[in-house]
Amino acid sequence: MKFNLDDLILWSDDSLLVVDKPAGLPTLPDGYDPEAPDLKGVLLPDFGSLWIVHRLDRHTSGVMVLARSPQAHRALNTQFQEHQVSKVYHALVAGEPVWTENDIDLPLRPNGDRRHRTVVDLQRGKPSLTRLRVLERFGQFTLIEAIPQTGRTHQVRAHLRALGLPIVCDALYGAGGGIYLSQVKPRPRIVAEPEIPLIKRLALHARSLAFLHPITLEALRFEAPYPRDIIAILQALRA
């Protein structure tokens, strides 16, 4: 797997690095496959020491910020801990909600079942709030904007699953599997060869990230464009 730094870097200065993480690339080395590439390892040769401030799941694409100094790391950590950072996700889900906007206030407990998933737990879960808004409806699928107000592990995935709206291709919280053109075309077509899925990974994209610069305190906002697989599935659904 090769990566073009020009495609990854959204912002760089002496204090921080903002990147558009591709799906399939873990934030840190994989304990099961330490030789596989990871985001920090890919960036290290060009940018030197980096500090991880937050993470995206391996199969989630989109915007991330990394610190380039201990001072910046401390300041950014404080912003994340005090919920001063605005994170916006776009998710393609299976199902069609009856609402247009919805605030999901359900307590979550990480590592709550035998599959190590985050689960809704009214007694032992930590307070968790996600603001949801429908962006586009496609019948059996819906594009949703999710803005977590708290920072629980797999919060967006767990809250959407609790609503009966699992994210497309989510093997942990949904049915998994890929989405094919023949599934979204309005009429059947003859397939001469095995189909290639339009998307085969978790259809979750970290669309934007807003925070204060850790040194100058300038208000910053970064947006990551949709990757090819999300563009492909949305174009097919719109057609």
Residue in 27, 4, 8 with CA at minimum distance from that of residue 17: 8
Q: What is the reported pLDDT for 196?
A: 86
Please list the pLDDT of the chain residue by residue as tens digits (239 residues): 567 788 899 999 999 999 999 999 999 887 667 777 899 999 999 999 999 999 999 999 999 999 999 999 999 999 999 999 999 999 999 999 999 999 999 999 999 899 999 999 999 999 999 999 999 999 999 999 999 999 999 999 999 999 999 999 999 999 888 888 888 876 555 555 678 899 999 999 999 999 999 999 999 999 999 999 999 999 999 98
Domain that holds residue 79: 5-238
Bridge partners of residue 52, in order along the sequence = 66
pTM for the full model? 0.93
CATH code, domain carrying 84:
3.30.2350.10
The 3-state secondary structure of 53-92 reads: CCCCCCCCEEEEEEECCHHHHHHHHHHHHCCCCEEEEEEE
Q: How far apart are CA 169 and CA 202, in angstroms?
A: 5
Query: Terminal CA-to-CA distance of the chain, rounded, Å?
Result: 31
Catalytic residue among 20, 46, 57, 121: 57
Q: Confirm whether 170 is a catalytic residue.
A: no
Residue in 159, 171, 91 with CA at minimum distance from that of residue 125: 159
Q: How far apart are CA 146 and CA 131, in angstroms?
A: 6
Sort 35 into a burial class: Cβ within 10 Å, 0-12 / 13-18 / 19+: exposed
Q: What is the reported pLDDT for 189?
A: 57
Query: Structure tokens of 56?
Result: 């995206």
How many domains does the structure of the chain reveal?
1
